[in-house]
């Protein structure tokens, strides 16, 4: 079975031009076929403040009203996506920048307004992904670069979580590829000790994950990321890696199988 790598890069890296360029150099050298999904970063919040768009929150989470949807589409699908594509083209990687609306590649369902209305926010079901067009692009040596903007097939764009966008793409393509999903962020991986970057857990299996949760070794924001990763593995993804963006070219980080 042919291999495919789906790589997600977090917003914190996207915000730092030097770190982003270093990451994109490693990404351009990474064996194809490959797909990149990028997060948003703080540019949307900065622009939001400049434009006087009020940040609305519900239950501690941001609400995507129409002004915010315009803003994130401009920043994510516009400047960040096309800048990444231009840099990858310079590096010899034939990238194509995409949202989920393009080619109906990643349709999504607007989240129910009950109990909390988060606005123009969409959730992806991997079975709806148009993997045939993606495989055709990959077959031509093209590298898709996705922002986490999707559409509802009814004329609306939707803001989507970039982590689940990445796992959905990996799941959809895992029927035709041995698929590796890599989350690149600003930490070395899953850590035993949050204060010690050398305490990376090298391998987590479903069995020791439960133990680590039970004894409190993994807590907080890492839990939904890992739950999401194991769900991807159960849906066909062969391997998930969580690592620092500067380690894309080596085998440091945490592997989940």
45 near a copy of itself, judged by CB under 8 A: no
16 near a copy of itself, judged by CB under 8 A: no
61 near a copy of itself, judged by CB under 8 A: no
Interface residue with a copy of itself, options 6, 9, 98, 106 (CB under 8 A) = 98
Piece in contact with a copy of itself (CB under 8 A), picked from 25-33, 76-84, 164-172, 220-228 = 76-84
Piece in contact with a copy of itself (CB under 8 A), picked from 69-77, 161-169, 183-191, 231-239 = 69-77
Piece in contact with a copy of itself (CB under 8 A), picked from 80-88, 190-198, 221-229, 241-249 = 80-88
Interface residue with a copy of itself, options 27, 76, 177, 230 (CB under 8 A) = 76
Please work out the total of residues on this chain that contact a copy of itself, with binding judged by CB under 8 A. 41
Interface residue with a copy of itself, options 106, 157, 172, 245 (CB under 8 A) = 157
70 near a copy of itself, judged by CB under 8 A: yes
Piece in contact with a copy of itself (CB under 8 A), picked from 9-17, 34-42, 43-51, 177-185 = 43-51
Helix/strand/coil (H/E/C) assignment for every residue in the chain: CCEEEEEEECHHHHCCHHHHHHHHHHHHHCCCCEEEEECCCCHHHHHHHHCCCCCCEECCEECECHHHHHHHHHHHHHHHHHHHHHHHHHCCCCEEEECCCHHHCCEEEECCCCCCCCECEEEECHHHCCHHHHHHHHHCCCEEEEECEEECCCCCEEECCHHHHHHHHHHHHCCCCEEEEEEEECCCCCECCCCCCCCECCEECHHHHHHHHHCCCCCCCHHHHHHHHHHHHHCCCCEEEEEEHHHCCCCCCEEEC
What residues line the site for a copy of itself (CB under 8 A)?
47, 50-52, 70, 73-79, 81-83, 85-87, 89-90, 94-99, 101-104, 133, 136, 140, 142, 149, 151, 153-157
């Amino acid at each position: 079975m042919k291999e495919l790598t789906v790589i997600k890069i977090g917003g914190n890296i996207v915000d730092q031009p030097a770190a982003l360029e270093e990451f994109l150099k490693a990404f351009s050298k990474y064996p194809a076929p490959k797909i990149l999904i990028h997060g948003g970063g703080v540019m949307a919040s900065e622009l939001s403040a400049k434009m006087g768009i009020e940040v609305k929150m519900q239950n501690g989470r941001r609400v995507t009203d129409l002004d915010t949807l315009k803003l994130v589409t401009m920043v994510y699908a516009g400047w960040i996506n096309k800048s990444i594509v231009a840099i990858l083209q310079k590096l010899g990687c034939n990238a194509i920048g995409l949202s989920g609306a393009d080619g109906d590649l990643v349709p999504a369902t607007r989240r129910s307004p009950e109990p909390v209305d988060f606005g123009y926010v969409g959730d992806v079901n991997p079975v709806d992904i148009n993997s045939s067009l993606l495989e055709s692009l990959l077959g031509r040596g093209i590298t898709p670069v996705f922002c986490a903007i999707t559409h509802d097939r009814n004329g609306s764009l939707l803001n989507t979580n970039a982590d689940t966008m990445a796992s959905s793409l990996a799941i959809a393509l895992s029927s035709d590829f041995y698929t590796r999903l890599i989350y690149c962020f600003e930490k070395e991986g899953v850590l035993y000790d949050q204060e010690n970057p050398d305490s990376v857990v090298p391998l987590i299996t479903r069995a020791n994950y439960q133990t680590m949760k039970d004894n409190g070794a993994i807590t907080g924001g890492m839990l939904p990321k890992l739950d999401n990763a194991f769900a991807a593995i159960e849906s066909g993804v062969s391997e998930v890696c969580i690592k620092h963006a500067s380690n894309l070219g080596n085998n440091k980080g945490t592997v989940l199988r």
